[in-house]
C-alpha cells in the first residue's frame, strides 16, 4: 500500500520544495520586526506542517506562534545560507519534536486496534484520549500548487491519522523528505542526525505508513468539483429530512463511520444505518441542520441538533467525508462542539 510513493509523485513539483525557492534569497529586511512581518506569508504552510506533526489544530497554532518567537529571537544569527522558508521549517520541526516528547499520539477510533463495533451496543466515550482533530482549509487560491499539496493530499485526515502511528522523529523525517522534498543531508542537519540515520528512519517510516495508511489508489474527489458538491448537498438533505435510507445509499459497500470521542467504529451501510437509528437523538425531519464547509481538503459539514427544550439548533457534530468516485467511503463525525468556532461556524443556528 505505497501511499508514500503517490505522495512523493504529487509533491515532486511543489512550491514547498526548497528547490523552487527563488535563488539568492537572503535574510530579508535588516530589522527583525520587519523580517518577522515578512515571514508571516509562510504561516499557513507552517500551520499545516505542525498539524501533520501533532494531529492537533490547537497545538499546531501554538507551535507556529512559538516558531515565530524563536525566529525573532534568533534572527541575528540567520546567515542566509538557506532560504527563509527552509529556516522557518527547521525551527518549526524542532519546536514540534520538543513539544511531542512524552506525549500520546492522537488517533481516530479506527487507530485504536479494535474490531468494528456492533451498532446496537452502548456507545463508550473516551474523554481521556487526545483525539485527532480536523484542520480548516485556507482561503488560498485552490489552483496554487502549494495549496493543493498543503491542504489536500498531505493533510487529508487518513494520512495525518496514519502519521500518528510513527514516532515523532519518523514523522519529521517522512514529512521533510516526502512532503517537502528535502534532501537526506538537509533533513539530518535540521534534526541533528546523520544521513544514514535519516535514511534508516525514512525506510522504517515508509514501511509503517504503508501498513496503516490510505492506499495510493484511494483517490479522493476534491471538494470543489461539481460531483463532490452535489454529493455533499444530497448528504445534507438526507440528514435534514431524517431520511437515513437515502443517506446510506450514498455510501460505498465498505464505508466506515467513526465519531470521536466515542471509541467505536462501524463498517457497511447497514451498520451505519442501524447506528444512526439506534443512537442519534434526532427523531424527525427538521431536528438536524447542516452547514457545508471543507476540512483537510475534503468535503465537510457542521451538524446542528435541535434542543428539545429550547427548540434551538446547537452545534453537535462536525463531519469530514472521504468522497471517492462519487460515493461516501468514510465519515469522521467529531463530537466536540468547540471545533465549530475554528471553522467560522456559530455555536447555534
Q: What is the DSSP string of 106-121?
A: ---GGGG-PPPPPTTS
CA dist., res. 247 & res. 272, Å (int) = 10
CA dist., res. 210 & res. 9, Å (int) = 15
Grid coordinates representing 93 are 520541526
Query: CA-CA-CA-CA torsion for 346, 347, 348, 349, nearest 10 degrees?
Result: 20
What is the strand order of the sheet 327-334 is part of?
A: 265-267, 251-258, 327-334, 313-324, 298-306, 288-295
CA dist., res. 186 & res. 177, Å (int) = 9
Closest CA to 5 of 137, 178, 129: 178
Helix (H) or strand (E) segment spanning residue 329: strand 327-334
For residue 129, count CB atoms less than 10 angstroms from its CB and return exposed for 0-12, middle for 13-18, buried for 19 or more: middle
Which pTM value belongs to this model? 0.87
Helix (H, G, I), strand (E, B) or coil at 96: helix
Cβ–Cβ under 8 Å, residues 333 and 318? yes
CA dist., res. 171 & res. 148, Å (int) = 20
| Cα first-last separation, the chain | 43
CA dist., res. 2 & res. 229, Å (int) = 29
Helix (H) or strand (E) segment spanning residue 254: strand 251-258
CA dist., res. 222 & res. 156, Å (int) = 11
Q: What is the pLDDT of residue 129?
A: 95
Q: Domains (ranges, CATH) in the chain? A: 3-212 (no CATH), 226-342 (3.10.450.50)
Low-confidence ranges of the chain (pLDDT < 70): 1-32, 77, 79-82, 139-152, 216-217
Q: What region, left, alpha or beta, does residue 255 occupy, with left being phi > 0 and alpha being psi -120 to 50 degrees? A: beta
CA dist., res. 173 & res. 170, Å (int) = 5
Amino acid at each position: 500500500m505505497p501511499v508514500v510513493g503517490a505522495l512523493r509523485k504529487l509533491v515532486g513539483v511543489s512550491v514547498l520544495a526548497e528547490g523552487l525557492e527563488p535563488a539568492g534569497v537572503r535574510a530579508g529586511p535588516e530589522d527583525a520586526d520587519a523580517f518577522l512581518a515578512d515571514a508571516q506569508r509562510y504561516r499557513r504552510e507552517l500551520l499545516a506542517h505542525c498539524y501533520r506533526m501533532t494531529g492537533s489544530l490547537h497545538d499546531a497554532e501554538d507551535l507556529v506562534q512559538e516558531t515565530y518567537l524563536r525566529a525573532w529571537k534568533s534572527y541575528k544569527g540567520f546567515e542566509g545560507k538557506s532560504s527563509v522558508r527552509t529556516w522557518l521549517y527547521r525551527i518549526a520541526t524542532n519546536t514540534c519534536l520538543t513539544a511531542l516528547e512524552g506525549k500520546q499520539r492522537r488517533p481516530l477510533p479506527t487507530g485504536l486496534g479494535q474490531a468494528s463495533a456492533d451498532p446496537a451496543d452502548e456507545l463508550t466515550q473516551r474523554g481521556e484520549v487526545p483525539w485527532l482533530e480536523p484542520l480548516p482549509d485556507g482561503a488560498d487560491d485552490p489552483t496554487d500548487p502549494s495549496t493543493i499539496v498543503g491542504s489536500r493530499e498531505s493533510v487529508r485526515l487518513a494520512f495525518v491519522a496514519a502519521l500518528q502511528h510513527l514516532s515523532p522523529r519518523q514523522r519529521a523525517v517522512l514529512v521533510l523528505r516526502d512532503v517537502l522534498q528535502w534532501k537526506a543531508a538537509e533533513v539530518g542537519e535540521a534534526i541533528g542526525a546523520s544521513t544514514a540515520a535519516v535514511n534508516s528512519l525514512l525506510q522504517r517510516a515508509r514501511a509503517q505508513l504503508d501498513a496503516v495508511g490510505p492506499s495510493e489508489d484511494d483517490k479522493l474527489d476534491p471538494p470543489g468539483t461539481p460531483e463532490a458538491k452535489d454529493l455533499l448537498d444530497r448528504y445534507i438533505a438526507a440528514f435534514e429530512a431524517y431520511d437515513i435510507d437515502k443517506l446510506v445509499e450514498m455510501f460505498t459497500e465498505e464505508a466506515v463511520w467513526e465519531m470521536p470521542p466515542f471509541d467505536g467504529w462501524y463498517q457497511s451501510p447497514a451498520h451505519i444505518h442501524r447506528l444512526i437509528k439506534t443512537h442519534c437523538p434526532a427523531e424527525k425531519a427538521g431536528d438536524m441542520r447542516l452547514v457545508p464547509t471543507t476540512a483537510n481538503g475534503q468535503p465537510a459539514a457542521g451538524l446542528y441538533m435541535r434542543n428539545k427544550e429550547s427548540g434551538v439548533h446547537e452545534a453537535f457534530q462536525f463531519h469530514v467525508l472521504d468522497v471517492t468516485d462519487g460515493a461516501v467511503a468514510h465519515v469522521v463525525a467529531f463530537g466536540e462542539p468547540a471545533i465549530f468556532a475554528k471553522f467560522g461556524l456559530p455555536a447555534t443556528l
